[in-house]
Every structure is written in structure tokens, then in C-alpha cells.
Structure 1
Amino acid sequence: MARGSANGGKVRQQQERILWLDMARALAVVGMVVYHFTFDLAMFGYIPAPTPVTGFWAIFARAVAGSFIALAGFGLVLAHWRGIGWRRFWRRLGIVAAGAALVSLATWFVMPGQFVFFGILHSIALSSVIGLAFLRLHWVGMLGLAAAVIALPQVWRDVIFDAPPLWFVGLSAHVRPSIDFEPFFPWFGAFLIGMAVAKLMLSAGPMARSTPTPAMERVSFIGRHSLVIYLIHQPVLIGLFISWNWLNG
């Protein structure tokens, strides 16, 4: 009887989630889909070509990318602040790295002149490894370091980083075009901000968890499967545009 109660409690604990975090991830996913839909509108000639890379849409793209990376930093602290669970960490890192490699390969075939050689997933993978070194740092220190990481490429670059193998660092004066480029500097700063927010919130006590309502469950589903949606949404959108053009051609 006691064993059954313990198992039941474990199941309930697994079902309970930090709902606002799922909602934040879901919002980031929606923003990503909206941006890429706009990008595809430009790519297929429905709106002016510069639209997704200038003005509001350029800022919007950075905000969406920053939110994904910051949420990854938040998640790193949430998962390992009591102690690094290496098996869980390497499993998650392997999934993200495989996704990054898939994005690079797919974009190289579709648009080799602008393929993604260091995009959001690449940045999250590297930041996750480097971020482990700062898990014990106080959140104030994390914010200070984040400010330095974000500021550095604005005030200093060097030709030594112009070598292609070092482009990912983000301190080069010149870099090849890419449809998604999120280098370590300054984007590790966003990752550190996410880590700092998690540390600050955890310092106030455990984060509240609750069982989602059916409506919340549908929204949180998006947040829980953000990586899968990230990988498949653009091929789906492009396929829809091609089908639309074919039907109306």
C-alpha cells in the first residue's frame, strides 16, 4: 500500500510542471513561426525582399532568438543547480547537437551560399557546455558577465577571428553570409541572463508547479516540444508555399 502511494505521488510529480515556463517556450515557438512565415513571404516574392531583415522584423528576429537562448540557460540551471546530472545533460546535449547538424546539412543543400553554420541550436549547444562552469556563480555575477559578453563584440574585434574556423566566436570583422548566425559573442550573454534569472528565482524558494488544465495542456504541449517544432516547421511552411504557388500557377 505504501509502495503504491509512493508510485502515485511520483506520477503526480512528473505530471506537474512549471506552467509559465512551458508558456514562455510556447510563445517563443509562435514568434519563431511568425518570423519564418514572414521570411518565406519575402523569399517567395509576396513582400519586398528586405522586409524580414530590416526594421521591426530584424528586431523581432533577435528578440525571438534571444528568448530561445535565454530559456535554454534558464533550463540548464533548473535541471542541474543541485548537482550536474551528467547522463541527462549529455542526452540533452546530444539531441540539440544532432538538431544543429541537421539544420546545417539541410540548409547547405537548399541554399549553400547562406547555409546555417552556427545558428540558434549550435549556440545553445556550445553555451550549455560553457554554462556548466558558471552554475555556482551568484546571479549578480552572472548578470555582470552577461553584460561583458554582450558588450565585447561592440567594442573590440580582431582579424585573427576572420579565419573561418573561428567565425563562431563572433569577434571577426568579416563573416560569410548565413540565414541564421548566432555566434558565442554576444549570444552567450542571453544564455547567462537566463541562468541568472533562474538562480534569482530559485534563491527565493522552489518554483511552484501545478497540474495543467486541458486548455493549458494544449498550449504547454508546444513549449514541451519546441525543438521538434523548430526542426519541422520551416520545411512544412516552405512545402505549403510551394503547393500554393503550384495550385495558383
Structure 2
Amino acid sequence: MAATGSWLSHTIDVSGDTLSLAPRSTYQSRLLWLDLARGVALLGMVVFHFARDLEMFGLVTSGTTMTGGWAAFARLVAGSFLFLSGVSFDLAHRGGFRTRPWARRFVIICGAAGLVTVATLAVFPTRFIYFGILHAIAAASLIGVIFLYFPAMAALFTGIAILAMDNFLAPGILESQWLVWTGLSAAARPSLDFIPLVPWLAPFLFGMALAPLLPQEAPRSSWPTKPCVRIAAWPGQHSLLVYLLHQPLLLGVIWVFAQILR
């Protein structure tokens, strides 16, 4: 893919998970719209998990978040994370594949995914997260390297093919537990968060395909320096931290509230 200038490779968030390569002094050279968009996705995640946690504690009707509008909302939030991660991934490597930053980010995301698996296994052994959103982002980032060497249309058509596979192939055509992550295995066990690559690789690839059409320049007006904008952009600049900490905080607050109601 064509280069867009060396400044972009060194200042843009490379992950979709806020593992930014840029020092804080380069705040204005970040893509603020991307930080803000990621912040909106995080807000949606917190809202959904708050409702799910209320359900887990019996404060709302069981099954509320698994059907209807809540189920659609959950898919929208997950898809937005993967789409924005694909956008960030493509923009970060627009000047050529950057091996060391990619490897650093990949290791951190894999470590965070492993931490989520271990923590949920300890607390929810029958529904622990074995392939959740972080696992999916890590796998998509590995697969996404291939698409850096092809035109954007390759990612677009592959994403469409994945959606077609999910909709038209019979589910469960594979039987192995080891292939659950593909989304085509009948051996999937219950999990608090299950994001298999079929169909969830598709929004990541759509993000890569559409990234060249999105704004890629640092903002030139004074509005990004305003305190309200900095505050609004902060979650999107630290989304991995927010992701890892929000559930323990929500569960703690709801547990205290539930004890008070008893």
C-alpha cells in the first residue's frame, strides 16, 4: 500500500487498543476522531456489561441481554471494536509493515487475552472466556498482516466472503474443540464472551479496506486542545486499560449495591 508520509507511521495509535507509539507531546498529531470513536465503542461496552452484570446478580430478568435489542446492541459494539482495530492496523502500517511495533502490540494483546482467560476461569469456571474480543483482535492482527501486501479490495471481498460463509454454510461443519475459534465448530462450549473469526474477522477486514477513505491527517484547529475534548478522548487512548478494569469495577459496585438491597 502507498505510503502517506513518515509522520503517520510514528504518531498514530497502532492497535485499536491504545498501545500508542506516540509520546504525550504529540497529542495533536493523533487522530482524534479515531480516539473519540473508540471512546464511544467503550461507552457502549460499559453500558452492555452493566446490564449483563445486573442480570448476573438477579437484579434484572434472566436472559434480558441475550435477546432482542440488547443482543443486537452487543453485536454492534463488538463489531465496532473490530472495525476500528482494523482501521488503526491499516493506518499504522501504511508506510510499510513495522515488525517491532507489531510484535510488541501482538504480545501485549495476547498477554491481556490470557489474563482475561485466567481471571474468568477462576471466577466463572463453567463459562470462562477462551476466545473473546481480545483473542479475536490478536488473531485478526496476525491474519491482517497478509492483507497489508494486497490492495484494499482483497480485504473487502474476503470480509464479504466470511459473512457469506457464516450465513450460508451449515453451522457446526467442524467437530474439533481445537477449531472452536474458527466459528465453524459444533464443539463450542458456553462462554461469557465468544467472538469466533467467522464472522468476526469480517469487520476487522472491512476496517482495513475502508481505512484509506478515512481522514488521515492530524487536526489543525484548536479544538483538540480543549479540556473537554481531552477528557472525551482519554478512554479511547487507553482502551485496553479501560477494557481490563471496567468489569472488576462494575462487579464490585453492583455487588455492594446488591448487598444493600438484601
TM over 0.5: yes
1: CA distance, partners of 2:38 / 2:214? 17
Q: Secondary structure at the match of 1:171?
A: coil
RMSD of the alignment, in Å?
1.9
Q: Does residue 207 in structure 1 map to residue 220 in structure 2?
A: no
Tell whether the 8 Å contact from 2:79 to 2:200 is kept in structure 1 after alignment: yes
Q: Secondary structure at the match of 1:24?
A: helix
Gaps of 5+ in 2: 1-21
Q: What residue in structure 2 maps to residue 123 of structure 1? A: 136
2: CA distance, partners of 1:197 / 1:81? 13
The percent identity for this pair of structures is 42
Tell whether the 8 Å contact from 1:201 to 1:207 is kept in structure 2 after alignment: no
Tell whether the 8 Å contact from 1:139 to 1:200 is kept in structure 2 after alignment: no
Q: What residue in structure 1 maps to residue 201 of structure 2? A: 188
Q: What residue in structure 2 maps to residue 149 of structure 1? A: 162
Q: Does residue 236 in structure 1 map to residue 249 in structure 2?
A: yes
Q: What residue in structure 1 maps to residue 40 of structure 2? A: 27
The one-letter amino acid paired with 1:129 is L
Q: What residue in structure 2 maps to residue 179 of structure 1? A: 192
Q: Does residue 217 in structure 1 map to residue 234 in structure 2?
A: no
The one-letter amino acid paired with 2:217 is M
Q: TM-score, normalized by length of structure 2? A: 0.85
* Offset from partner CA, 1:197-243 (integer Å, 9 cap, x none): 112337xxx43434432111001001001111101101111111111
Residue among 14, 27, 44 paired with 1:15: 27
Residue correspondence of structure 1 range 39-78 to structure 2 within 5 A: 39-78=52-91
2: CA distance, partners of 1:217 / 1:241? 29
Q: What residue in structure 1 maps to residue 148 of structure 2? A: 135
Q: Secondary structure at the match of 2:112?
A: helix
1: CA distance, partners of 2:196 / 2:81? 14
Superposed displacement of residue 162, structure 1: 2.0
The one-letter amino acid paired with 1:209 is P
Q: Does residue 98 in structure 1 map to residue 119 in structure 2?
A: no
Superposed displacement of residue 174, structure 1: 4.1
Superposed displacement of residue 248, structure 1: 3.3
- Say how many residue pairs are matched: 237
1: CA distance, partners of 2:54 / 2:23? 45
The one-letter amino acid paired with 1:15 is Y
The one-letter amino acid paired with 1:110 is V
Superposed displacement of residue 157, structure 1: 4.4
